[in-house]
Chains A and B, each alone.
Chain A
């Protein structure tokens, strides 16, 4: 077993978070640094702006036509909260039901354990390769890298994941992993990487889809092992569910002899009936469709039909630690629709890679730091202007802005040594708690007017952190007297 506790942890070690050195939950740059580079990429901005505004519009239209959308959201939130409150019981029930129907359940504490389990299972089949259904959990744990290290070939079959894989890139969106690429860029990747591709390939979407189809069809037909994630798992019947648009997922789920599903433990729902709510909320929020084209469900194995060997890997990787946080646990309600990404003004400009995690955007900014421990992703809770657009569209009403603010406080409170910012905020708080001190502080701020020497704005060149503002925006010259001062002088107390 690998160390799962960050080295700086004080005496209470807490619940294990996602281990370092494996998977894709941590970037190698802070968000502001990564974003600085991305913001210079005009093509990225154009691609993202076009794609997110299109999906935003589609979502808004199909949500508006549901008269009881707010009740559905409330139901989704209530179901998730109730499920999380007894998560252990639901998971054990799921294990019993999957086992009773001929599946095998494995419990993985973290990314390393999950990767070891899946690698062992694939190697045992003797197959040299696996086909994959689009899955966030396996991206999170870096399963492809683990399988490749064991000498196996891994083929992503979701069109967008295929683009990312062929381009030796990283996904930048939960639902549309290649959202940062436009048609011309995708054509270039296909022309360069797909063996035997039509040399006359154009950037016509249909031609691109047909090229991918031909490339994948061959792999589906010879595949002996498939790896998938799951959107939902119904505890009472042991049913796994995958929701998709292309049908490539269903190929993987039905053609191979062995199916291995890796699922975050928060994906369980107690009853079949709960799907009624989530299967309405998810497609409208994610692709902006009334219903997604393919919903596959399966329970264990069915003799003579589909995979004859089924393994379910239940992944923790920091989720229990998230569950322990009374405020932050709501992040586990996420159904990975990515509506929050599509409306986020920060995501729309910086793109997903700036977040350094497979979970980008507003949900990523609250999920990644909780899975890894806040100190390993300390800049993410600040990667938001708290505009609230994410909360407004979330189909299970996760109060993302409040959790961001909560995680900022967790970060501040985790500092053992005083920081310059901390000292400044403490001093300011003391002043703002006492009118006499506050008036003195305001008078000091008013002296800033001396810097502007009669001009209406302060000089551009000021020391940090003010320079962060003045590099691109003017600051008004503070007046000699505050409003309260002037008022009191004119009206008395």
Chain B
């Protein structure tokens, strides 16, 4: 299958390794990956901060960038949820029915990574090897908007060498919430503290999730505490193989770029 990769603005700009991992995983599974260069953002940050009028152009750009793609995959539950639940509304409220329909049509072919792997490709064992103790944080939008359910667990359980440990209070928000983390920094930090306490109680080496944004939040807190536990995106774990894990186990698994 020819898969168009939507890196998302955050991954593209701040954590490109997550997009590289997504691409190499899909290629390893025998699919052709294309990266439309016109891509920028889904518009979620604007919509969720109150700038829905300003988001119309962002939605239009997204629809233009991915027009004609057979399937679109993004390593982010939250951005895919925005594409599914917000983009058409943004266009419709602005009176652009044509854009709304195009966005809806595109959303029908847009998948979050774990849903794409399990539901569309029908694989749970992607042939990965990741010899670490790992705990999984089910991010709010993956859990409640996309309802990815146990798909990430199915994928993680099939990874060779990986020891999966249950995260207490897993379904509680980490406190990221986009601009919430800055506008309500104190409350966000209080939520993060409890999330980190739960992560650390598992004695996992790695905390993983399907959203780079939440991981940047949890990882930013853990790194500030010099906690030692690191955050690694689900795509990076699934992309790792015996050949591609560096012997010294640096913070990010080595993935052929």
User: A residues touching B (Cβ–Cβ < 8 Å)?
Assistant: 31-32, 35-36, 39, 345-346, 349-350, 381-389, 391-392, 405, 408-413, 421-422, 425-426, 428-435, 438, 442, 445-446, 456-457, 465-466, 468-469, 471-476, 478-479, 481-484, 486-488, 490-491, 493
Contacts and interface: CB of A to CB of B under 8 A. Distances in A.
Nearest to B55: A429
Nearest 4 CB-CB pairings of A with B = A385-B177, A433-B57, A473-B220, A408-B50
Given A345-B191, A482-B16, A483-B20, A435 B220 contact: no
Contact of B173 (A350, A387, A413, A438): A387
Interface of B: 7, 9, 11-16, 19-20, 23, 35, 37-41, 43, 46-55, 57-58, 60-61, 65, 140-141, 143-145, 171-173, 175-192, 216-217, 219-221, 223-224, 251, 257
Contacts of A484: 7, 12, 35, 37, 39
16 contacts: A35-B184, A389-B144, A405-B50, A409-B53, A433-B57, A445-B13, A469-B220, A472-B224, A473-B189, A473-B217, A475-B220, A478-B13, A483-B16, A484-B12, A484-B39, A486-B16
A412 B37 contact: no
What secondary structure prevails in chain B residues at the interface with A?
helix
B145 A465 contact: no
A428 to B, nearest CB: 8
A391 B186 contact: no
Nearest to B178: A386
A395 B192 CA distance: 28
A457 to B, nearest CB: 6
Contact of B184 (A383, A431, A493): A383
A205 to B, nearest CB: 27
Contacts of B182: 465-466, 468-469
Contact of A385 (B143, B188, B220): B188
Contacts of A479: 14, 16
Question: A32, A446, A466, A468: which has the most chain B beta carbons within 10 Å?
Answer: A468
B48 A391 contact: no
A381 B183 CA distance: 11
Contact of B181 (A383, A425, A469, A493): A469
Nearest to B143: A388
A442 B13 contact: yes
Contact of B191 (A349, A405, A476): A349
B223 A474 contact: yes
B180 to A, nearest CB: 5
Given A346-B191, A391-B144, A429-B58, A409 B50 contact: yes
B112 to A, nearest CB: 15
A462 to B, nearest CB: 11
Contacts of B49: 408, 412, 421, 425
Nearest to B59: A433
A445 to B, nearest CB: 6
A140 to B, nearest CB: 25
A386 B177 contact: yes
Question: A421, A487, A488: which has the most chain B beta carbons within 10 Å?
Answer: A487
A108 to B, nearest CB: 33
Given A429-B58, A433-B58, A469 B191 contact: no
B144 A392 contact: yes
Given A32-B184, A385-B180, A432-B61, A473 B192 contact: yes
A145 to B, nearest CB: 30
Question: A349, A386, A405: which has the most chain B beta carbons within 10 Å?
Answer: A386
Given A429-B46, A433-B61, A486-B16, A385 B40 contact: no
Contact of A387 (B43, B144, B221, B223): B144
A411 B190 contact: no
Contacts of A493: 37
B173 A432 contact: no
Contacts of B39: 435, 484
Contacts of A469: 181-182, 185, 220
B183 A32 contact: yes
Contact of B11 (A428, A466, A468, A483): A483
